[in-house]
Homo-oligomer: A and B are copies of this chain.
């Protein structure tokens, strides 16, 4: 979407985040990166994305500090893309999208991939915003405090 269009969008972290990852390709690339994917060709094959678009998105993600280029693990001449700390911090966003999709977008018999704990192989419970006391908060339990 157009960059920095609206006057007060710079003050809303949601809007600012969406300027960086507010398109589907970027988030799918990040999703795959969480899945261990690191190479241009892997993204290309798995996503079915056009080469120029992939190159563009990778460049933007690197510029945004979400991915970084590192030397190839196999010592080859190419470079690979790895999540930075900032990129890894997008984990809750991906999990949120995943769990929403799981809950609402599949029919009863329809199968889908599942996010599980590595330790026991069991699905994660739904991630929820918590208050300071550790109890789950609904949207109605919160409000956005605007700055002057």
Instruction: Identify which of B27, B111, B120, B121 contacts A22 (C-beta below 8 A).
Output: B27
Q: Which B residues are in CB contact (< 8 Å) with A47?
A: 6
Are A141's CB and B125's CB within 8 A? no
Copies of this chain, how many? Answer: 2
Task: Establish whether residues B117 and A14, one from each chain, have CB atoms under 8 Å apart when the complex forms.
Answer: no
A92 CB–B CB distance under 8 Å: yes
User: CB-CB contacts of A80-108 with B at 8 A, as 1s and 0s?
Assistant: 00010010111111111111111111100
Residue count of chain A within 8 Å CB distance of chain B = 81
Chain B residues lying within 8 Å of A125, measured Cβ to Cβ, are 130-132
CA distance A46 to B146 in the complex (A): 14
CB of A41 closer than 8 Å to a CB of B: no
Determine whether the beta carbon of A101 is less than 8 Å from that of B142: no
A25 to B13, CA, bound (A): 14
Chain B residues with CB under 8 A of A145: 113-116, 121
Chain A residues with CB under 8 Å of chain B are 1, 5-7, 11-25, 27-28, 31, 34-35, 46-48, 65, 83, 86, 88-106, 111-122, 124-132, 137-147
17 A-B contacts (beta carbon < 8 Å): A1-B23, A6-B48, A11-B112, A13-B105, A16-B112, A22-B24, A23-B23, A35-B144, A65-B104, A83-B139, A90-B96, A90-B100, A92-B96, A114-B144, A115-B143, A125-B130, A127-B129
